[in-house]
Structure 1
Amino acid sequence: MKKWLLVVLFTCATSQAAEHGVKELSSGRLLLKSGEIAVGISPAPEKIERVLILIHGRLRNAQTYLQSGEHAAELAGQSATTLVIAPQFLNETDVAVHPVADTVLRWQGNEWMAGGESTAPFRLSSYAALDEIIARLGDRQQFPQVKQIVIAGHSGGAQMVQRYAVLGHAQSGLDAAGVQVRYVIANPSSYAYFDERRPVAFSHAGCPDFNRWKYGLTDLPAYAEGQTATQLQESYLKREIVYLLGQQDIDPNHPALDKSCEARAQGPYRLARGRFYFDYLKRLQPQGLNQQLIEVPGVGHNGDGMFTSPEGQKALFGP
């Protein structure tokens, strides 16, 4: 563990000047081949059998998600064997406000959600950064007892997790080590479809980008090079994925809801969009879909409420 993780400690002050940047920088750093990524990380248990990777949303508030993950593990009785990691995909605005070493990766705006490349210190897809983190967790010398990696996100983070599940490169090392990978996608604003079918009628002429990435498979990022649409669909349908939907996430005017025509073609609000997408997948896989949709009663667009609910605990830590 110590060979991989370098923890850099400093004071994280929240200032008024940071209103357009992230409020809190995570103090941890994960060393990657192309620089290092900011990260929040829980105290490592003696026996790490599961690693929960939680992806923040547009606010890039990794520490908030770290706390939610730790709380969910505690409620589920899994703290003794679960390591929680919350990567922080900083952007250029954050770096302009907070002092950050030149070696720390940063992206432009929200491009990290869709697999965009970092702006410094090297060009690296956010998905490639996740690849490196996940591959390292399958290293039996550093993590000899890991049996499961859970990659989860809420809202904007769920958008990233869903798209990463579409494009993510094969991890042969994990397969060889017998490490199970699960994706938990909670309340995203939209999904990546594999063809031009959409559940809501719309004007193709008035919404010409409805099938462009990140809503469809046209104009994929460089990270996806060499993968065909058929291969991506086949790979996605084989992944272990849980769609976690809040039954009260039904506000079509929610301030953080994607209201573009591309997103509206997927449904009026997040709960409907998630239900429509799951039905769409079942049509793609009529012989039976090896994925789950779990709804959380009484919870709307609230990451902590979703992950700490009994249903959220089942999605994150269940068999």
Structure 2
Amino acid sequence: MHKWLLALLFIGGTAQAAGVDAISPGRLQLQAGEMAVGIGPAPAKIERVLIVIHGKLRNAETYRKSGESAAELAGQTANTLVIAPQFLNESDVALYSLPASVLRWKGNEWMGGGLSTGPNALSSYAALDEIIGRLSDRKQFPDVKQIVIFGHSGGGQVVQRYALLAREQPALKAEGIRLRYVVANPSSYAYFNEQRPVAFDHAQCPGFNRWKYGLVDPPIYSGGQTPAQLEGRYVKREVIYLLGQQDTDPQHPALDKSCAAEAQGAYRLERGKLFFGYLLRRHPEGANQRLVEVPGVGHNGDGMLTSPEGQKAIFDQ
């Protein structure tokens, strides 16, 4: 058994209450504190790790199970480990009387790379860095060839923005490990400059280009890199935009309807296609990225993960 998996501390059953519906049972010790995490069965030979990022509901176990279903449908359970980090907030920790050692964030600030409020300050993106860093450690994971980070809805927002800001990890290249980002049905994207596909009143929407919709005032995690530097690295990263063809409701209750988001399109499918068009116009030579539409699926994380298109995006099926 891998040392890293043995380091997971398990607590009792998942209680039900208002707020987050369940606390993931695993604990991953990071430098700043313990991260709640859901983890699937570990195959004897782990060649791929699927990291599934939950959305605003913070329902990591739901997404972990969907990730496991996708691996099973793709016939990849023999070599794929599924893990689902859980970005808890302060209300979750209070509600479940969790130990002070468990990492937590204020509200939804984890989505934009914000710093944890306890037990120590850690960007949610730096937490992902640490997880990926461990997975690239050949002493613990000698067989890993690929890491896939998948996020749907709010998780899709996290994955797109993390792909934009993520620090380089030399160990990945040195060990020949491919890192892929799969961005599924987010409400909005972080643009590189002030261009937007939909006309709007700039005076009525002063924050349209501020983080997390643009690169003005990015989080501390960005390390002072310029927008040009961030964009240059982003287009070299392997990103798949996975969009449900039925995710077309401009009044969807979970859709971001702020002016900054509306400037990107009317609904999620349109926003994704417009962002990808913007990307290709700025990089006609071809970025290391592609857009894949999923027929018959709307705003449904399980449907996106387990669809034939989702399986292909994650498992190269």
Q: Same fold (TM over 0.5)?
A: yes
Q: Distance in 2 between matches of 1:61 and 1:294?
A: 25
Q: How far is 1:289 from its partner?
A: 2.3
- The residue aligned with 1:2 is 3
Q: Which moved more, 1:80-89 or 1:92-101?
A: 92-101
Q: Distance in 2 between matches of 1:88 and 1:32?
A: 13
Q: Distance in 2 between matches of 1:214 and 1:288?
A: 25
- The residue aligned with 1:198 is 196
Task: Tell me if 1:211 matches 2:209.
Answer: yes
Q: How far is 1:288 from its partner?
A: 1.6
Partner residue of 2:238 out of 218, 236, 240:
240
Structure 2 residue runs without a partner (length 5+): none
Q: Distance in 2 between matches of 1:86 and 1:99?
A: 21
> In the alignment, residue 8 of structure 2 is paired with which amino acid?
L
> In the alignment, residue 116 of structure 1 is paired with which amino acid?
G
| TM-score, normalisation: structure 1 | 0.97
Cα deviation, 1:185-226, whole Å, max 9, x if unaligned, reads: 000000000010000000110101000000000001100123
Q: Distance in 2 between matches of 1:192 and 1:162?
A: 8
Q: How far is 1:7 from its partner?
A: 2.5
User: RMSD of the TM alignment (CA)?
Assistant: 0.9
Partner residue of 1:108 out of 106, 128, 131:
106
Aligned ranges 1:295-310 → 2 under 5 Å: 295-310=293-308
Q: Could you tell me the percent identity over the aligned residues?
A: 68
Aligned ranges 1:76-225 → 2 under 5 Å: 76-225=74-223
- The residue aligned with 1:12 is 14
Structure 1 residue runs without a partner (length 5+): none
Aligned to 1:109, the other structure's residue is in SS state coil
Aligned to 2:78, the other structure's residue is in SS state helix
Q: Distance in 1 between matches of 2:188 and 2:282?
A: 18
Cα gap change, 1:262/1:110 in structure 2, threshold over 3 Å: closer, same or farther?
same
> In the alignment, residue 254 of structure 2 is paired with which amino acid?
A
Aligned to 1:183, the other structure's residue is in SS state strand
Q: Distance in 2 between matches of 1:258 and 1:209?
A: 14
- The residue aligned with 2:260 is 262
Aligned to 1:104, the other structure's residue is in SS state coil
Runs of 4+ off more than 4 Å: none
Q: Distance in 1 between matches of 2:166 and 2:287?
A: 19
Q: Distance in 2 between matches of 1:301 and 1:195?
A: 28
Cα deviation, 1:126-172, whole Å, max 9, x if unaligned, reads: 00000000010000000000000000100000000000001000011
- The residue aligned with 1:40 is 38
Q: Distance in 1 between matches of 2:4 and 2:237?
A: 30
Q: How far is 1:9 from its partner?
A: 2.3
Corresponding residue pairs, total: 315
- The residue aligned with 1:311 is 309
Aligned to 2:202, the other structure's residue is in SS state coil
